[in-house]
Every structure is written in structure tokens, then in C-alpha cells.
């Protein structure tokens, strides 16, 4: 294991990014930290989110990572600037890559993007700004979807799930007449709700911020210090590794095939 | 302000206990601490919950409280013994008072109690043990209701709410044939769902752990050092006071009519 890439998220949602990166960079070790003891970040103040994000990066750097994927919409939109100022390794967040993908879809359509995110992510306006920096003519609407994370974490993701559908209708239907070309899933949990979302609002392209960011990190890989081509992944969690292992299957499609270790994140 | 009573919770749910105690003890100052930067406690290890609880009590004692209501199911079931050993003021938790009320109802009925709680609270079996300590013949079933807290925190509490009703049905209907006399709401958020719960499972008496503990504290009041009869409440939060003020309305029925201060709880 040489020059691993680190990934962190407030919990398990970032595993959608891990999974994509694992596929894109088969010869690179990936170290994943999920801050499951302090999840969710989305309801916390900016100051707390920034402090937690620095601790998360610090921990991954203590394991020698050469780059960090911030696979958390809340941390990306609230703390990426601070992380880049504080540390010298390159960071890739979920905002810019997903914004680029959404802008491309909108430019080939009617120029409209609907951004879904946690309350904290939507409040920052980060996705909207990133899209407008690429093309100020694109019309962007945002919807805070605070119940999507707990729904996903409790397995309410199947098409036809009554509770998930009712909540998706509440969040999405007010934007149906906006007719977005793309719905940007600005939280790494949301791709698991893809079938529910497409049933409630059929038509727009769904863009996964986790996958977009994994592609952006993969395109950086050639400029990173070399790996030894022998991947030896590990997962770290601030809560119970047994719980992590069990819940991770939802996001990975199978139980994690690498060790899961406990971390006392408050020490970093 | 003389000899205030302290109340702490991992977040805002304990405000249901505050509200009840405010009504029961009109002449006593109440100081409420909500550890919103570290909420939820329910997913943390016992060791961490105990450390946090001692910090929370320490903070309230630094403001001269003469008794403490632990208005948090997780802290009550994991740390009450440690708090009582560490500090000399009296503590009241939420488990014993609610268990007593539930046992009384069950003894006058068919001897059956359904306990609802977070996954962590249900896993400790604390309510079940407390009920059986009073009357081993009472039959107790428990149901973990992990989505109730996020539903309440996002305002899905009205009778007829489609999502809340679907989720309540998922949690409660498997226990309909158990025909409980009492449903013990073992988490201080749950009383806000009372109308939804009664619609899904009509019949049983709903017992609020927050209210039961407030009554237990009120009955202690005569044995506490005297107050000066001029209440001057204050709220403290480890996260953003503006957020606390806004969210607290859900639990209080109106915005808090006392100041909300920020506390750096890690210092205690």
C-alpha cells in the first residue's frame, strides 16, 4: 500500500463515491472514513461542520493519504476552502464535478437544473454558484430534502415505498412546473432513492454528486504520487464497526470486502 | 434566581420535559442545556455517552443548579448511575418515572406495555427492566422507531401526515395483536407524534417519558433548597443559538421566551 487516496463522509453515503472510485482506479488503495458517530452534518452549523471536516482530513492524513475525496455534500459546500488552506494535499469535493455535469445536461436542454440537498447544503447555495460560474444563463432551483438521509439509512428506498414517495412528492412536486433537464443529487445518499425520485418526477437526468466526484478524482490520479498497484483498502468509522459493516451493504451492494476499524475521531 | 433546576438532553426533545416542569413549578428557575452539536447520543458507545453526560451535568452545576433532570433516554439509561456517584445533587432520569406510570396503567388493564424508543434505547432494555423491577408479571414488548426523531424534527407530526402515518404503521401494526394497555413513548421527541400514533393504534394510553420525569422532579421540589420565586430561565446549546431558537418552537409550541446562549461544552 503506497500513496492511498482518502475518502471521507459524515456517514455511509460517501460509499457511493468509494464504489465508483474503486471501479475507476483498480490499482490504488482507498481509505474510507465515515463519521457515523457524528452523522448527520447537514443539520449542524457551518462552524461545527468546518471543525469536523478538518478532524476527518487530519485522520486520513495520519494514514498517509496523498489526496482526499470529500464525499459529503455538506462538508464540500461548507469546508472545502478551509481544507485546501489548511492542508497541502489535493482535495476533490462533490460540488464542482456535479455542477459541471449538470451544466452540460442543461446546456443541451432547456437550461434548467433542480438541485436537491440537505438543508445545510442548500443554505450555502454552493451548487447554484458553481453552476452559475460555468454558465450564468442556466436557471437553478434548489430544494432542501432533510428526510431523505434518514429514509435511506432506514431502508426506505424501494420504488413504491409509501413514506419515501410521500416525502419525495412534498419536496419535488412544487418544482414539477419548472421542468428541470437535470436533477442534481447533491447528497451522496440520494442515488439510492433514484427509483422513487424518477417515479415522482419522471424525465430529468439524475446526476449523482458522488459518482461525479469519483470521476474527477480519477482524472487527477496521473498527477498523484505513484501507487504500488497493490490495493489494500480499509474502512474506518467513528461508531461501531459491526453496525458500519451491516449498513454499508446498502451502499456497496454487498458487504465491504476490507477491514472496518474504529476511530476515536475527537482525538484528531 | 436562586437554586435553579437544570435539565439536559442530547438535543431538543428534552424540551417536552422542560415544558411540563415549567408548568408544574412556576416559581422555580429552569436552566436547559441541549447538546445539539453532539446530538444524537443514541448511536454512540456507552463510554462516550457517560463522558458527555458528566460534562453536561458539570456545565449545569457551574450555573448553580440544585437538581438535574436528565431528559434524554440514552443518557438516563446509560449514565444515571455514574452521575449519581459523581455529583451530590439529586438526579431524575426519564426511565424510572415513565416505567412506573406504565406499570400502573398495565396493572389496571391486561398487564401489557409497548415501549417505543430509539434503536439505542431499545437495545439497552432499560425500560423493560424498570417495568419488570416493579412487576415481573407485566408483559413488555419493545419497538425501535428510528425514523420518528427525524420526522418530528422536520415537522411531520400532524394527524393524517402520509409519511408519518406510513412509518408509524410499519413500527406499530406488528404489535396491534399484542393489545397493549399503555404505549410508553421512551424518547422525548415522540409526544409530538401522539395524534399520528393514536390514529394508527387507537386505544392504549400514551405515556410521555418527558412528562413523567417532570412530574417526578416536581414531586422532589419540596425537598430541594428554596427558590426565591422569581424564575429567570435560560437555554444553552452547544451549536448555533439561532438554530436552537427556531427549532425549539416545535417542542414548546412557541419560540422560547428566555435567552439562548452558546456553550463550548468540550471545556466542561
Please check whether residue B232 is in contact with residue B29, taking contact to mean a CB–CB distance below 8 angstroms: yes
Calculate mean pLDDT across residues A94-123: 95
Model confidence at B43: pLDDT above 80? no
Which residue, among A119, A148, A164, A167, would best test binding to B if mutated, counting the most B CBs under 10 Å from its CB? Answer: A167
Model confidence at A196: pLDDT above 90? yes
Residue B44 has its nearest CB partner, among A43, A154, A239, at A239
Instruction: State the pLDDT at residue A253.
Output: 87
Nearest to B162 by CA among A190, A41, A200: A200
Nearest to A149 by CA among A175, A130, A171, A179: A171
- Annotated active-site residue A66? The verdict is no
Model confidence at A95: pLDDT above 90? yes
Same domain? For A107 and A204 the reply is yes
A154 in reach of chain B (CB within 8 A): yes
pLDDT band at A237 (very low <50, low <70, confident <90, very high): very high
Domain boundary among B176, B194, B209: B209
User: Regarding predicted confidence, which is higher, B222 or B116?
Assistant: B116
Same domain? For A204 and A223 the reply is no
pLDDT digits (tens, 9 = 90+) for B104-136: 999 999 999 999 998 878 988 999 999 999 999
CB neighbour list of residue B87: distance below 8 Å, 6 or more residues apart:
B57, B61, B68
Domain boundary among A162, A179, A209: A209
Model confidence at A228: pLDDT above 90? no
Q: What is the mean pLDDT of chain A?
A: 94
**Residue tagged active-site, from A20, A66, A68, A72:** A72
Return the residue of B nearest to A39 by Cα: B40
CA dihedral sign of residues A88, A90, A95, A100:
positive
Residue B166 has its nearest CB partner, among A45, A166, A239, at A166
Separation CA A25–CA A173 (nearest Å): 38
Q: What is the mean pLDDT of chain B?
A: 94
Instruction: State the pLDDT at residue A1.
Output: 77
Same domain? For B99 and B205 the reply is yes
The Cα of A263 is separated from the nearest Cα of chain B by a number of Å equal to 12
pLDDT band at B37 (very low <50, low <70, confident <90, very high): confident
Residue B147 has its nearest CB partner, among A37, A48, A154, at A154
Calculate mean pLDDT across residues B75-102: 96
Domain that includes residue A133, residue range: 95-209
Count A/B contacts: CB-CB distance under 8 Å.
57
Bridge-based pairing state of the strands B234-237 and B30-34: parallel
Which residues make beta-bridge pairs with A92? A69
Instruction: State the pLDDT at residue B186.
Output: 93
Contacts of A38 in chain B (CB under 8 A): 38
* CA A176, chain centre distance (Å): 25
Model confidence at B153: pLDDT above 90? no
Separation CA B190–CA A153 (nearest Å): 19
User: Regarding predicted confidence, which is higher, B250 or A197?
Assistant: A197
How many helices (DSSP H) and strands (DSSP E) are in chain B?
11, 10
Structural domains of chain B, count: 2
Same domain? For B190 and B242 the reply is no
Separation CA B116–CA B128 (nearest Å): 11
Q: Using DSSP, state whether B11 is helix, strand or coil.
A: coil
Instruction: State the pLDDT at residue A70.
Output: 97
The least confident of A62-71, A94-103, A158-167, B148-157 is B148-157
Nearest to A147 by CA among B41, B146, B111: B146
Model confidence at B223: pLDDT above 90? yes
* A44 with B37: Cβ contact below 8 A: yes
CB neighbour list of residue B204: distance below 8 Å, 6 or more residues apart:
B114, B180, B181, B182, B183
Calculate mean pLDDT across residues B31-54: 88
DSSP assigned state of A161: -
The Cα of B25 is separated from the nearest Cα of chain A by a number of Å equal to 33
Calculate mean pLDDT across residues B23-39: 94
Same domain? For B74 and B35 the reply is yes
Instruction: State the pLDDT at residue B228.
Output: 86
Model confidence at B102: pLDDT above 90? yes
Calculate mean pLDDT across residues A169-178: 97
Contacts of B151 in chain A (CB under 8 A): 147
Percent of chain B whose predicted confidence (pLDDT) is above 70: 100
Return residues 158-217 of A near B (CB < 8 Å). 162-164, 166-167, 170
The Cα of B95 is separated from the nearest Cα of chain A by a number of Å equal to 24
Contacts of B156 in chain A (CB under 8 A): 147, 167
Same domain? For B199 and B99 the reply is yes
Contacts of A48 in chain B (CB under 8 A): 37, 239
Instruction: State the pLDDT at residue A41.
Output: 86
Nearest to B256 by CA among B228, B229, B227, B236: B236
- Residue B243's alpha-carbon distances to B36, B152, B249, B256, B259, in angstroms, are 10, 15, 11, 12, 13
Nearest to B94 by CA among B190, B227, B3, B236: B190
Same domain? For A204 and A100 the reply is yes
Instruction: State the pLDDT at residue B114.
Output: 98
A240 in reach of chain B (CB within 8 A): yes
Return the residue of B nearest to A38 by Cα: B38
Q: Which three cell numbers stand for residue A253?
A: 451492494
Same domain? For B15 and B84 the reply is yes
Separation CA A60–CA A66 (nearest Å): 9
Same domain? For A89 and A216 the reply is yes
**What is the ipTM metric for this complex?**
0.82
Please check whether residue A47 is in contact with residue A23, taking contact to mean a CB–CB distance below 8 angstroms: no
- Residue B217's alpha-carbon distances to B28, B63, B66, B90, B94, in angstroms, are 12, 19, 12, 9, 10
**Residue tagged active-site, from A116, A187, A216, A218:** A187
* A45 with B240: Cβ contact below 8 A: yes
Q: Which three cell numbers stand for residue B206?
A: 400514551
Same domain? For B124 and B204 the reply is yes
> Quick one: residue A134, left, alpha or beta (phi over 0 = left, psi -120 to 50 = alpha)?
alpha
* A44 with B239: Cβ contact below 8 A: yes
Same domain? For A179 and A242 the reply is no
Model confidence at B41: pLDDT above 90? no
Angle at A146 between CA A145 and CA A149, to 5 degrees: 100
Domain boundary among A209, A236, A256: A209
Q: For the domain that residue B182 is a member of, what is the CATH number?
A: 3.40.50.1860
pLDDT digits (tens, 9 = 90+) for A109-144: 999 999 999 888 898 899 999 999 999 999 999 999
DSSP assigned state of A158: S
Please check whether residue B201 is in contact with residue B172, taking contact to mean a CB–CB distance below 8 angstroms: yes
Same domain? For A19 and A56 the reply is yes
Instruction: State the pLDDT at residue B229.
Output: 82
> Quick one: residue A151, left, alpha or beta (phi over 0 = left, psi -120 to 50 = alpha)?
alpha
Instruction: State the pLDDT at residue B123.
Output: 87
**Residue tagged active-site, from B172, B187, B192, B212:** B187
* B239 with A150: Cβ contact below 8 A: no
A156 in reach of chain B (CB within 8 A): yes
Instruction: State the pLDDT at residue A193.
Output: 97
- Annotated active-site residue A187? The verdict is yes
Separation CA A32–CA A16 (nearest Å): 11
A155 in reach of chain B (CB within 8 A): no
* A44 with B38: Cβ contact below 8 A: no
Which residue, among A35, A41, A45, would best test binding to B if mutated, counting the most B CBs under 10 Å from its CB? Answer: A45
Q: Using DSSP, state whether A196 is helix, strand or coil.
A: helix
Residue A48 has its nearest CB partner, among B154, B164, B239, at B239
Amino acid at each position: 500500500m503506497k500513496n492511498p487516496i482518502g475518502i471521507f463522509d459524515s456517514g455511509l453515503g460517501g460509499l457511493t463515491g468509494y464504489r465508483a472510485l474503486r471501479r475507476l482506479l483498480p490499482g490504488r488503495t482507498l481509505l474510507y472514513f465515515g463519521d457515523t458517530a457524528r452523522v448527520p452534518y447537514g443539520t449542524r452549523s457551518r462552524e461545527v461542520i468546518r471543525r469536523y471536516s478538518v478532524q476527518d482530513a487530519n485522520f486520513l492524513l495520519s494514514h498517509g493519504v496523498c489526496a482526499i475525496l470529500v464525499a459529503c455534500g455538506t462538508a464540500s459546500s461548507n469546508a472545502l476552502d478551509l481544507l485546501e488552506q489548511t492542508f497541502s494535499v489535493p482535495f476533490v469535493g462533490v460540488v464542482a464535478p456535479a455542477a459541471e455535469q449538470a451544466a452540460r445536461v442543461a446546456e443541451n436542454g432547456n437550461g434548467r437544473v433542480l438541485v436537491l440537498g440537505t438543508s445545510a447544503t442548500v443554505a450555502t447555495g454552493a451548487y447554484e454558484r458553481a453552476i452559475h460560474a460555468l454558465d450564468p444563463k442556466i436557471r437553478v432551483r434548489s430544494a432542501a430534502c432533510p428526510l431523505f438521509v434518514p429514509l435511506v439509512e432506514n431502508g426506505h428506498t424501494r420504488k413504491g415505498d409509501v413514506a419515501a414517495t410521500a416525502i419525495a412528492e412534498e419536496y419535488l412536486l412544487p418544482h414539477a412546473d419548472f421542468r428541470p433537464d437535470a436533477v442534481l443529487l447533491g447528497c451522496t445518499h440520494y442515488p439510492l432513492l433514484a427509483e422513487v425520485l424518477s417515479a415522482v418526477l419522471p424525465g430529468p437526468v439524475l446526476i449523482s454528486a458522488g459518482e461525479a466526484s469519483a470521476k474527477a478524482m480519477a482524472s487527477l490520479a496521473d498527477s498523484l504520487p505513484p501507487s504500488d498497484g497493490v490495493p489494500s483498502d480499509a474502512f474506518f468509522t467513528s461508531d461501531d464497526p459491526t453496525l458500519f459493516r451491516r449498513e454499508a451493504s446498502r451502499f456497496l451492494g454487498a458487504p465491504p470486502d476490507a477491514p472496518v476499524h474504529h476511530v476515536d475521531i475527537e482525538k484528531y
